Structure 1
Amino acid sequence: MTGQKTINQPEGKEIQIIYIEDDAGLARLLQKQLHRRGGYNVGIAIDGEQGLRKLQQQHFDLAIVDYNLPILNGLQLLRILRDNGIDVPVIILTGVGTEEIAAAVMKAGAADYLVKDADGGHIEKICEAIARVWQQRQKQGQQKLVFAKRKLAEKVFDVTEEGIVVTDANCVIQAVNPAFTTITGYSYEEAVGNNPSILKSDRQDDQYYGRMWSSINQSGSWEGEIWNRRKTGEVYPQWLAINAIQDKNGKASEYIGIFSDISIRKANEEKIWHQANYDSLTGLPNRALLVDRAGEALHRAKREKTSLAILFVDLDRFKYINDHYGHAAGDELLIEVGRRIASALRDSDTVIRLSGDEFIVLMPVIQHAVDAGRVAEKIIAAISEPFMISDNKTYVSASVGIAVFPGDGDDVGVLLSHADMAMYKAKEGGRNQHLFYDQQMNEQAEKKAVIEHELQRAIREGQLEMYYQPVTNLQLNRITHAEALIRWNHPEKGLVMPDDFIPVAEESGLIIQLGEWVIDAVCKQLLAWKHQVDESLQLSLNVSPTQMMHANLDRQLQAAITRFAAPAGSIIIEITENVLIEGPDKIKLKLDAMKAMGLSFLIDDFGTGFSSMRYLKKLPFDGLKIDRSFVSDVDTDNEKAVLVRAMIEMAHNLDLKVVAEGVETEAELAFLHDHDCDYVQGYLLGRPMPAEQFLEILQRQQ
């Protein structure tokens, strides 16, 4: 019947129930049923983790827990509650009951155990179980109070870990137990005759105590968390239950307070919260706290019509530090980077470690976008200073992307995404700089996503093709090898050049799969030409920095050479100078392993990146390719002519062959010939072409 109480509960007091159930429909049904009966306040949690959090933060008289919960199941939750001293009766529900489950949950401390009915009849059983468990709980509580009063002078009063204080009707302390003294610091003699207000901490106001006494006067009891003060002055949290003992006329003759020190429990809760919201390495807030703080800041900015900024900070060359010095050194660097970023911020700003070498700066209030730019410059400057890592002076830099509310988005996720885009654009633009987000970046990101998706399909559906550009030996005046260049025969866009998709492949990681396809294609082509061209013909293929650092590159090459019976001596690997940034020692190990297979190596785009005489001598290169930017107009540009002559002479002194690429005029060719360049490549001598066309040229040459 609507409004009928099924439980003997104090007038005016609702029973606080939490129902932890991932079936929303079932949860609402029980909530509705109990609401109709009256006297219940039912809260709902959708998984074990959320339920645990609520039980830690709020007081509940009873918990109903589904056994098969996501994240934490009913049994795990019971054990955590028990281990953390959270005293709440728990009724366990399960869809499929077994004796093993029943025994386990009852052993773990469940107050009752019910099996759900397919027809929903278990709802009434739950209601009955609530009544039964609540009555048992009330009965146990009354028995405890009666026992405490009756056995006041007996041993149990002395040995219980809970503090007990007994007052008369005027709240004058009549007795305390040893645990009271242990917890509060007041001896028996100091406490007796005093008012419990000696424990008052002033953490609670008069209204709080007014509500407490109102409950005691109306229902005869009160229970809750309260902060009191020890004799030392230390303020600490208690869980306190006060019950009025009535005389035969129904008037309160005594009050019994039973309390426990929950400092450890609160500390554990704080520890759990801290672990969930702070990075264990740097001690900085983590992603979870970022979402919370950024959400609050965004809400405030919308309400107050102010601006905020999110800065996405990513370290440049961190992978090299990690690989070269080890993970411990990398961790040391990240800790110091976190400190330096924090030192560059205003008091109101927050630095968060997102993951790896990525940090977020939240600026909750800015007057102008330039404010965020100034902070970004300070961060970059702070990080560019040398680090002492493992007794070595080390340098890194940072790229920073900035998104500003309201112009760049009105949602935390969108602002983070846009700051991330701006950061990547800063990296692409040369690193060690900051960039603000603009709409064009979003369009570029969408375009990249389309290219990535279509490129995956291109690899699957055979839309890729190798073109070959002739390389001429100037001494022999004949083609001796060719550079293998990938092309994409897009079904709608036609022939797509590498510059339009290789950067996307690099960024997305598809370059590994794409590189493996190129290796297979080159080895397969060598097999196809085995009896049709001069056996001394060599094919060169480009290997990106990402491929070079990939652990499986040497195995991919060896597998393809074996599978297609390709002569390893016919394969030249071209590597850009920038690969050396990743660590010459590590690169040398890889090159030595591949050199042992019979492969040759060229430094590609020589003169445009990072190299030195020391590395040219140390690493097993067979030659270098002078970049087209130096070859263009070399016959008329005196500065270029001096550089190219120096490169050729240096290479020959190191016993390296020289390939000049980008040769487009007879004058450029003549200059290179006159200065003893070994090989030339460019549109003057032949554009990249399909395999069939290149084969025809080779056969005519023979």
Structure 2
Amino acid sequence: MLGQLLVDPLIRILPMIQSFSYQGVFFGIGLGVFLALLGVLGWQVSRRQARHAHPQALFEDLQLANVRSEQLNAELVGEVEQRRLAATVFEAASEGIVILDPSYAALAVNRAFSHISGYTVEELIGRRMDELACCRDASRHFPTIQISLDQLDRWQGELVETRKNGELYPQWLQLKVVRDDNEHISHIVAFVSDLSARRESEARVRHLTHFDELTGLANRLLFRERLEEANLRVRQGSRSLALLHINLDRFKLLNDNLGHELADQVLQEVAKRMVKAMPEAYTIARLSGDEFAVLFDAYGSLTSLARVATRLLSKLSRPLVIEDHELVVSASIGISLLSDIARDAGTLVNQANKAMQQAKHLGGGRFQFFSHSLQHSTFERLQLENQLRKAIAEHQLKVFYQPKLCLATGRLQAAEALVRWDHPQLGRIPTSDFIGLAEETGLIGAIGEFVLREACRQACEWQREGLAPIRVSVNLSGHQLRQGTLVSLVRQVLEDTGLAPHFLELELTESQLLENVEYVIATFQQLHRLGVKLSIDDFGTGHSSLSYLKRFAVDYVKIDQTFIQGVGRCSEDEAITVAIIAMARSLDLKVVAEGVEDDVQLAFLKAQHCDEVQGYLISCPVNSLDLGELLRRNVVFL
């Protein structure tokens, strides 16, 4: 500390500091002493001159007198500089310094102590320090301090002192005794440090050790400690324990589009809503990113937990406004219970996480209790994920093609590329079993690129075989679109395979278009400039696409098969189909109807001037060889 470094030099120059305030008098006395010395030297010179009366001796005496005079002058200047330096150090020290006489009256006080205590220098000089309000704690410890000063000539310790305005603050005090030649106390030097800033910093470090800086919730470390404490009470048979594992749905998409600052504001608002929604919670923690955990010590029943989860989902789903952005946040919640000693806290966490993953797999915005059947299905999904990774690496995936019939010509002029998985032991895996899993795990990116490349390659291969060129359509995933590399990937695949861009059609579902409208519009415009055809799949199932449709650079609209299945049986489905076809034609778009399975549907669509149809009435999805044979026959279907 500064006090320890300064104490010995300060003691040595203490007389200088005390006398520095009388600097004018000091210079006057110094000048008088200097003149007196000159007089003495002159007298000595006169005596020598009278005694020796020799010019050479007189000259030497004068030289000696001059040298002595210069030495004295240098010593005088050095003493003045040393006193000035001592005074500068005394005033510039960041620690408070007070010089006391043996009765503890202040002889000198620096500005730092005046700032710490709140008293002016004038209010302190001459007053006994143990009588001032700023030294109340020191006064209480005075007997102990006095014994230490008498025996050791020093004392140090932490006190809680009072500023002039009554504010309490932590203080570190060091006292050092200065004795005279007779070993009597001549002065006491006090060094004072204000510990307020250090204590605040230490408190902040302790807070950050256990609490999340962004949301103020408990962090992972404190959550673990609380979990172990609660688990111990369960083992003692006095309590029950429940854990909610909460993960926000599609938060990464929000983070990527809004930026980290706005996403952080969303997390802060979510944390506030959690605290308000669950006042009975034992601990609410933010584990990482958009992942939260809630502990309930002594929960009432499964019904009460279900009510809590429902209440939380309801509060989270209310729209929130962040810098003019109106957002709706949903969450997936997994709930696990620990009510006996057969399971530990680690198991509780794993089970809650599995239940949360199941809730997310079911579409999010819901809660799921853990059960052993869920554990079994989770294990099966984990196995399926590993097998899917292996399938991609070992080329088990194949591309099949479902033809599209042009109603104007009666010929096949396009085909939709569809992925199929033939497992070497399990046989064909239903697409519904692995596409959703691929979306969740990010494997859909690799699968999507494989289908894109294979479809483009096969389209060129059919042309090289002399068949009439057809358009191949490939489904895009939201993952591919969010990656931001779709345009460059399509451009590269077209260059690698040599397929003309207008023979490639990319399909994106209506719901995916609405996830980030402006970004999708910009991406579609770039793809359109490449010459690629674009299509909206499952049209009519969304909520607000009609207002955006004219802004998308699309070429085709695919009517969802749910409407086509109602043709001939449901007048409402027929009306919707007619409206979609009319709307598309007014926007100069072509219409494709999917899911056509009977002649009634085909006749109705032809009467409404639909452009293309696909479905089992035309052909089921077939491999590349079979579709090549269909194209080679050049069959007219109508």
Q: Say yes or no: TM over 0.5.
A: yes
Q: Shift of the alpha carbon at 1:690?
A: 1.9
Q: Hey, what does 1:403 align to over in structure 2? A: 335
Residue aligned with 2:468, SS: coil
- 2-side partners of 1:667 and 1:677: how far apart? 14
- For residue 609 of structure 1, what is the amino acid of its counterpart? G
Displacement, 1:372? Answer: 4.6
**Residue 195 of structure 2 is aligned with which of 259, 262, 285?**
262
Structure 1 residues 630 and 278, CA gap change in structure 2 (3 angstroms): same
CA contact (8 A) 2:494 2:501 kept: yes
Q: Say whether the 8 Å CA contact 1:224–1:239 is kept in structure 2.
A: yes
Choose 562-571 or 526-535, whichever is displaced more.
526-535
Q: What's the offset of the Cα at 1:546?
A: 1.7
Distance across 1 between alignment mates of 2:614 and 2:426: 28
Taking a change above 3 Å as real, the CA distance of residues 271 and 639 of structure 1, as seen in their structure-2 partners, is same
Alignment of 1:612-631 (within 5 A): 612-631=545-564
Aligned positions of 1:20-31 closer than 5 A = none
Query: Pick from 499, 514, 517: which aligns with 2:432?
Result: 499
Structure 1 residues 213 and 536 mapped into 2: Cα distance closer, same or farther (>3 Å)? Answer: farther
- What is the TM-score when the length of structure 2 is the normalising length? 0.73
Q: Which amino acid aligns with 1:294?
A: F
Which of 312, 315, 327 is equivalent to 1:382?
315
Partner of 1:51: none
Select 1:285's aligned residue among 204, 216, 227. Answer: 216
- Rate the CA distance shift 1:162–1:633 in 2: closer, same or farther, 3 A: closer
Map 1:305-454 → 2, pairs under 5 A? 305=234, 306-316=239-249, 329-346=262-279, 352-353=285-286, 356-361=289-294, 363=296, 366-391=299-324, 394-406=326-338, 418-454=351-387
CA distance in 1, matches of 2:182, 2:432: 95
| SS at 2:384 equivalent | helix
1:490 counterpart (405, 423, 433): 423
CA contact (8 A) 1:163 1:176 kept: no
For residues 250 and 346 of structure 1, the distance between their equivalents in structure 2, rounded to whole angstroms, comes to 68
Q: Secondary structure at the match of 2:330?
A: strand
Would the alpha carbon gap of residues 198 and 622 (structure 1) be closer, same or farther in structure 2, given more than 3 Å must change? closer
Q: Indicate the structure whose relative CO is greater, using CA pairs within 8 Å and at least 6 residues apart.
A: 2
From the superposition, tell whether residues 628 and 223 of structure 1 become closer, same or farther in structure 2 (CA, over 3 Å).
farther
Letter matched to residue 135 of structure 2: L
1: CA distance, partners of 2:435 / 2:486: 18
Q: 2:95 aligns with which of 162, 172, 177?
A: 162
CA distance 1:380–1:199, shift in 2 (3 Å):
farther
Query: Contact 1:581–1:610 (CA<8 Å) still a contact in 2?
Result: no
For structure 1, the residue ranges without an aligned partner over 5 or more in a row are 1-84, 88-136
Q: Is the 8 A contact 1:298 1:364 kept in 2?
A: no
How far apart in 1 are the matches of 2:185 and 2:372?
73
Residue correspondence of structure 1 range 540-579 to structure 2 within 5 A: 540-579=473-512
Q: Tell me the CA shift for residue 509 of structure 1.
A: 1.8
Cα 1:665/1:177, change in 2 over 3 Å? farther
Match of 1:303 among 221, 232, 249: 232
One-letter amino acid of the counterpart of residue 295, structure 1: R
Q: CA offsets per residue over residues 605-625 of structure 1, 9 Å max, x none? A: 223334532223332222222
Give the letter aligned to residue 398 of structure 1.
Answer: S
CA contact (8 A) 2:243 2:293 kept: yes
Query: Could you tell me how far 1:521 is from its partner in structure 2?
Result: 0.9
Counterpart CA distance in 2 for 1:658 and 1:470 is 15
Shift of 1:578: 1.0
| AA at the equivalent of 1:293 | L
Write the letter of the residue equivalent to 1:468. Y
1:7 counterpart residue number: none
Query: Amino acid of the residue matched to residue 264 of structure 1?
Result: A
In structure 2, C-alpha distance between the alignment counterparts of 1:676 and 1:317, rounded to whole Å: 40
Compute the displacement of 1:396 (Å): 0.5
- Going from structure 1 to structure 2, the CA distance change for 1:369 and 1:198 (only over 3 Å counts) comes to farther
Equivalent pair of 1:384/1:395 in contact (CA under 8 Å): no
Assess, with a 3 A threshold, how the Cα gap between structure 1 residues 259 and 594 changes in structure 2: closer, same or farther: same
C-alpha distance in 2 between matches for 1:452 and 1:86:
64
Distance 1:439 1:609, change over 3 A: farther
Shift of 1:424: 4.3
1:215-226 to structure 2, matched below 5 A, reads 223-226=156-159
Match of 2:124? 188
CA distances 1:55-83 after superposition (whole Å, capped 9, x unpaired):
xxxxxxxxxxxxxxxxxxxxxxxxxxxxx
Partner of 1:607: 540
Q: Is the 8 A contact 2:99 2:109 kept in 1?
A: no
How does 1:120-199 map onto structure 2 within 5 Å?
143=8, 147=12, 153=18, 155=86, 158-159=90-91, 160-164=93-97, 173-175=104-106, 177-179=108-110, 180-185=113-118, 187-188=123-124, 192=128, 194=130, 199=135
CA drift at 1:420 = 4.7
Computing the radius of gyration from Cα coordinates, the structure with the larger value is: 2
Instruction: Report the alpha carbon displacement of residue 453 of structure 1 after superposing the two structures with TM.
Output: 3.4
In structure 2, C-alpha distance between the alignment counterparts of 1:243 and 1:219, rounded to whole Å: 9
Amino acid at match of 1:285: G
CA distance 1:322–1:198, shift in 2 (3 Å): closer
Shift of 1:149: 8.2
One-letter code aligned to 1:566: L
Of the three residues 133, 157, 164, the one matched with 1:231 is 164
In the alignment, the residues of structure 2 paired with residue 423 and residue 142 of structure 1 have an alpha-carbon distance, to the nearest angstrom, of 64
Q: Is the 8 A contact 2:592 2:613 kept in 1?
A: yes
Range 470-479 or range 189-198, more displaced: 189-198
Letter of the 2:422 partner, please give it: N
Greater percentage in helix: 2
Cα distance change on mapping 1:193 and 1:691 into 2, 3 Å: closer
| Separation (CA, whole Å) in 1 of partners of 2:7 and 2:257 | 69
SS in 2 for 1:403: strand
Query: CA shift at 1:528, angstroms?
Result: 1.4
Provide the rounded CA distance (Å) in 1 between the counterparts of 2:339 and 2:559.
Answer: 46
Structure 2: distance between partners of 1:600 and 1:559: 16
Unaligned runs of 5+ in 2: 20-85
Give the 3-state SS of the residue equivalent to 1:689 in structure 2: coil
The 3 A distance-change label for structure 1 pair 525 and 230 is: same
- Tell me the secondary structure at the aligned position of residue 618 of structure 1: coil
Distance 2:304 2:366 in 1: 15
The alpha carbon displacement at 1:673 in A equals 4.5
Q: Distance in 1 between matches of 2:504 and 2:625?
A: 19
Matched, 1:518 2:473: no
List per-residue Cα deviations over 1:340-369 (Å, max 9, x = no partner): 333334176665555555555555664445
Identity of aligned residues (%): 33
SS at match of 1:608: coil
Distance 2:576 2:168 in 1: 77
What is the number of equivalent residue pairs in this alignment? 557
Q: Is residue 334–residue 368 contact of structure 2 (8 Å, CA) maintained in 1?
A: yes
Residue range with higher mean Cα deviation, 570-579 or 296-305: 296-305
Show the counterpart of 1:592: 525
Q: Does structure 1 retain, via aligned residues, the 8 Å contact 2:507–2:537?
A: yes
CA shift for structure 1 position 303: 3.3
Rate the CA distance shift 1:211–1:337 in 2: closer, same or farther, 3 A: farther
